[in-house]
Amino acid sequence: MPKDEFEWIRQHTPQRHFQKSLIEGIGDDAAVFASETEYNQLLCVDTMIENVHFKKKTMSPEDIGYKALAVNLSDIAAMGGIPVFYMVSIAVPGTWSDDELKGIYNGITDLGAFYQIDMIGGDTVSSPHELMISVTVYGKVEHNASLLRGNAKPGDYVFLTSATGRSAAGLDILLNKGRLSDFNEKEKVLINHHQRPKPKIIAGRTALKLQARIALNDISDGLASETFEIAEASGTSIELFKNQIPVAEELLLFSENKYWQWILYGGEDFEIVGTVSESDWLKLQEAMKREGIVLYKIGRVKEGHPSVTLIDGEKKESLQKQGYNHFR
């Protein structure tokens, strides 16, 4: 824990800023920025706790910082939004060195710089046991367009931006071997999906610009759970077709039973699941393709009580809305 928090934060605050709307960043009681009338505003927050969401064994300080911001950018992506500013609250136990803390901030500010968004506030307090990091992201989105979970209607297709389950597989490897071991190429891919999952900002923006009725949700808690949230918010029933859900080749390192668990219930891939009407499906697929994003059509929205059913030939399995627990 740095002795002079104020001085420390000043030292770790980027000198220049990206966003023209910023009036006062870090250094006063609150940040001040100008309204942009052509947009609505977005706000979200997510908290990561040591030994609940990460361990020193599984994530470097830089990874922790990266992911604490990325999980929020993923939420902005699922709203079709543009991230603008972020704030970082860290509670630091004495077992973490100043260098490790600096690593966390570097992980955050590097990702922030990539998206040209500015850190405009936060605080650093001490914590008796676990490190805790809570990031708030402020973003913006055009009026008269929204990608809410409640937008799904019977007849819609369910789509997915890419294969899920790789983050959970990467975590499994990290828990077994620790992050400082040697890994083969496929393991490295999986680990990278856990430590550095990419928020799908461009996918969200592309869906939004279509001006169609699209429901979107980012996959932080697992495909089943996030699809369930769309079903609940829309008052619909959703069928997923097992043979249409993509299976990443790196997952074939593991037993089928294991990887299907991860594909359906593993969290933090930050892929996007959504629904779109049959008539807009090709337009959406084409628009995504132009951005280099392959869309998978994995299911169908039906009338019925909120539920998610996995269809596998003749077999039907009711999927649970179970949250992702890292170390269960």
Which residues are paired to 217 by β-bridges? 273
Question: Does 75 sit near a copy of itself (CB under 8 A)?
Answer: yes
Question: Does 28 sit near a copy of itself (CB under 8 A)?
Answer: yes
Q: How far apart are CA 137 and CA 158, in angstroms?
A: 28
Span of 74-82, 155-163, 175-183, 193-201 interacting with a copy of itself by CB under 8 A: 74-82
Contact residue for a copy of itself among 70, 82, 119, 141 (CB under 8 A): 141
Q: What is the 3-state secondary structure (H, E, C) of 200-266?
A: CHHHHHHHHHCCCCEEEEECCCCHHHHHHHHHHHHCCEEEEEHHHCCCCHHHHHCCHHHHHHHHHHC
Q: 10 Å Cβ neighbour count for 255?
A: 10
Contacts of 261 (CB under 8 A, 6+ apart): 168
Least Å from the CB of residue 37 to a copy of itself: 5
Question: Does 11 sit near a copy of itself (CB under 8 A)?
Answer: no
Span of 143-151, 178-186, 234-242, 311-319 interacting with a copy of itself by CB under 8 A: 143-151
Q: How far apart are CA 237 and CA 222, in angstroms?
A: 17
Which residues are paired to 86 by β-bridges? 119, 137
Least Å from the CB of residue 263 to a copy of itself: 21
Applying the rule CB under 8 A, the residues between 121 and 140 that interact with a copy of itself are 121-123, 125-130, 132, 134, 136-139
Q: 10 Å Cβ neighbour count for 139?
A: 25
Q: 91 and 132 in contact (C-beta within 8 Å)? A: yes
150 vs 246 by CB, closer to a copy of itself: 150
126 vs 184 by CB, closer to a copy of itself: 126
One DSSP character per residue, 43-57 reads: EEEEEEEBTTTB-TT
37 vs 279 by CB, closer to a copy of itself: 37
259 labelled ligand-binding: no
132 vs 264 by CB, closer to a copy of itself: 132
110 labelled ligand-binding: no
Least Å from the CB of residue 168 to a copy of itself: 18
Contact residue for a copy of itself among 8, 19, 47, 113 (CB under 8 A): 47
Q: What are residue 16's phi and psi, to 5 degrees?
A: -95, 160
Contact residue for a copy of itself among 87, 169, 212, 223 (CB under 8 A): 87
Nearest in space to 55 (alpha carbons), one of 167, 130, 105: 130
Contacts of 11 (CB under 8 A, 6+ apart): none
Nearest in space to 115 (alpha carbons), one of 37, 56, 201, 40: 201
Question: Does 202 sit near a copy of itself (CB under 8 A)?
Answer: no
Contact residue for a copy of itself among 11, 14, 51, 294 (CB under 8 A): 51
Question: Does 89 sit near a copy of itself (CB under 8 A)?
Answer: yes
Least Å from the CB of residue 323 to a copy of itself: 7
Torsion sign over Cα 114, 118, 122, 124:
positive
The residue ranges that bind a copy of itself (CB under 8 A) are 4-6, 23-24, 27-37, 39-53, 74-76, 78-79, 81, 85, 87, 89, 91, 120-123, 125-130, 132, 134, 136-139, 141, 146, 148-150, 216-218, 229, 233, 321, 323
Q: Which residue positions form the known binding site?
A: 29, 46, 53, 75, 105, 122-123, 149, 218, 220-221, 268, 324
Q: Which residue positions form the known binding site for substrate?
A: 53, 268, 324
